[in-house]
Amino acid sequence: MTARVFIDGEAGTTGLLIRDMLGARRDVEIVSIPSEKRKDVEAKKALMADVDAIVLCLPDEAAKESAALAGSLGNSAPKVLDASTAHRVNPDWAFGFPELAAGQGEAIAHAPRVANPGCYSTGAIALLRPLIDAGLVASDYPVTINAVSGYSGGGKSMIEAYEARTAPDFELYALGLEHKHVPEIVKYSRLERRPIFVPSVGDFRQGMLVSIPLHLEQLPGNVKAGQLEEALSAHYRGGQYVRVVTAAEMADAGGKLEPQSLNDTNRMELRVYANEARGHAVLVAKLDNLGKGASGAAVQNLELMLSLEPVSAA
């Protein structure tokens, strides 16, 4: 059976990549609306009634409008996957991180509406949630999250600036400490204290590192770095897309880590760096901000929502 999918906002960075990934499949037919009818509400509504799922690659307000339009179809409504920030903490929407906890993949598969996580959120939640659930990090720990992303995560204007060589090689941003990914990090990591989140962008197109420093003496019960690694490994064991890189594997890396080796994949790697003598550890997630952080995750969720064969492991 072929699933019919409409990408609302297919001309953006995320939409284009989702289209490319789905276009290579024989079990998916991508349905598009003529450019002259993109603002025709009735034409869009009729198209929505004729597909199995829609993917929203739109600004938040436009995503809310399209989601409401799809919902107005009642029993004829398609499944909706929203790649915007609009519905990520809405309890009526399933959170589209299948590796979050046991049963999350099944919840996504059966949900009529799924919110794709943010790229930074994916890395931070992947690191924090298993450790908080295991009692190794307290939910009120004063978490600091530092991250660097390729410039493709910044949208059309940032991409143009970097490719025109008018942007700086590196910069911190969102220094008002109100980044839009923080609410979902708080909710799905089960944090009770709002973290300090400092994102940055570098002069490379895609790739991402999310890092969280920890003082081991501030963790419950004199936790050791090995316990953190073991808890992460136990949580993700057997998973298709998330892998914990062990301390033994990192031994020859010289204490360095680059952000781009997982580009064009849906994979994510987690690491625990530690200096036990100093009582310090740093948790690090590596992922492609356009892969597991956006389009790859969207395709993974669509596979669950539409009962498609999982082929997005690349």
Known catalytic residues are: 119
The amino acid that residue 110 corresponds to is H
Joined together, the tokens standing for residue 234 give 């136990």
Question: Which residues are within 8 A (CB) of 4 and not within 5 positions of it... i.e. 6 or more apart?
Answer: 28, 29, 31, 50, 51, 52, 53
Distances (CA, A) of 159 to 148, 154, 206, 207, 295: 15, 7, 11, 14, 17
8 Å CB contact between 209 and 285:
yes
Residue appearing with tokens 């960075």: 13
**Cβ contact 181:149 at 8 Å:** no
Residue ranges in 112-193 assigned as alpha helix (H) = 119-133, 155-163, 182-189
Q: How far is CA 1 from the centre of its chain?
A: 28
